[in-house]
Amino acid sequence: MNPTPASRGRDEPEALFRSVAEVARLCRVSKMTVYRAIAAGQFPAVRIQGRLIIPAKVIEAMAQAALAGNMTVDAAAWVANDSQISGVGAAVPRRGGV
């Protein structure tokens, strides 16, 4: 059984990758939505022998960009941007509070 973040020991490092299920839960979308975005090249992922995993740093960087700029981060544009992991991803202004 894998420890949850709350039960993880102080010596155990934070996971470098998240599963599709974890990302879907974090983003409050279905796993199929995440799989479709990955398949369309609109969301970054790493494939290891058929299993897709998402770098945790990407999720954190997208959230930071959205918070820092009070912007909506477009994941598809983020993937197309060369600086996607460095925290300077593509963002678009929010429309109508969305």
Percent helix, strand and coil across the chain, each rounded to 5? 40, 15, 45
Contact 80, 37 (CB under 8 A): no
What is the torsional sign of CA 94, 63, 73, 30? negative
- Model pLDDT for residues 57-82, shown as the tens digit of each residue: 999 988 888 898 888 888 888 777 75
pTM of the predicted model over 0.75: no
Tell me the helices (H) and strands (E) count for the chain, helix number first.
Answer: 4, 5
- Model pLDDT for residues 6-59, shown as the tens digit of each residue: 555 666 678 899 999 999 999 999 999 999 999 999 899 999 999 999 999 999
